[in-house]
Amino acid sequence: MKFPTLPDPAIEKEYKISQDLGRYQVTKNDSDKHMWRVQSWRNVALTAPYFHNGAVKTLQEAVRVMAKVQLNRDLKSHEINDIVAFLDSLTSDFPKVSLPELPMLKHEALF
Ligand code: HEM
């Protein structure tokens, strides 16, 4: 998705989120400018700092920025806290990631 959809001068000045052109860097298609992968919210409370450049240090601030530049909404602090409480509820064990085991090659079996 495009991020920021509605660039905000104050947010841009503070976090420089538009400096990196995102997927465009790879494809050179104009329509890919500022396109980013929307990542999972699973364990998002544990994965600060936020956004592609890691410029935003807290989840509260990430929610405020999102509402402003994606939805043109100025959230009140109690609204931000409610959303962060919901995002906190998505904290759990990280899924176990196991590496695949390659089959042993015949010549390796000799050693
Ligand atoms: C109030 C509603 C929303 C909340 C609470 C929210 C929350 C978040 C959070 C916490 C992140 C950071 C994730 C991380 O860095 O690990 C994020 C990233 C992102 N969100 Fe949202 N979001 C909202 C609305 C939207 C909407 C409406 C769109 C699209 C139109 C959107 C598109 C994205 C994209 C593209 C990223 C990745 C940006 C990057 O990596 O730089 N979000 N969102």
Model pLDDT for residues 6-52, shown as the tens digit of each residue:
999 999 999 999 999 999 999 999 999 999 999 999 999 999 999 99
79 and 87 Cβ atoms separated by less than 8 Å: no
Domains contained in the chain, number: 1
| Cβ-proximal residues to 87 (8 Å cutoff; 6+ apart), any chain | 41, 44, 45, 59, 63
Task: Tell me, yes or no, whether 101 lies in a domain.
Answer: no
Best mutation site among 36, 38, 43, 82 for ligand 1, i.e. most ligand atoms within 8 A of its Cβ? Answer: 38
Q: Residue 25 is part of a domain; what is its CATH number?
A: 1.10.760.10
pLDDT of residue 51: 98
111 vs 107: CA distance, rounded Å: 8
Other Cβ atoms closer than 10 A to 109: 7
Find the 9 Cα to ligand 1 centroid distance in Å: 18
- Distance separating the N- and C-terminal Cα atoms of the chain: 52
Question: Is the pTM here over 0.95, yes or no?
Answer: no
Task: Tell me, yes or no, whether 96 lies in a domain.
Answer: no
Residue 2 bridge partners (DSSP): 35
Residue 86, domain extent: 9-91
Model pLDDT for residues 48-101, shown as the tens digit of each residue:
999 999 999 999 999 999 999 999 999 999 999 999 999 999 999 988 889 888
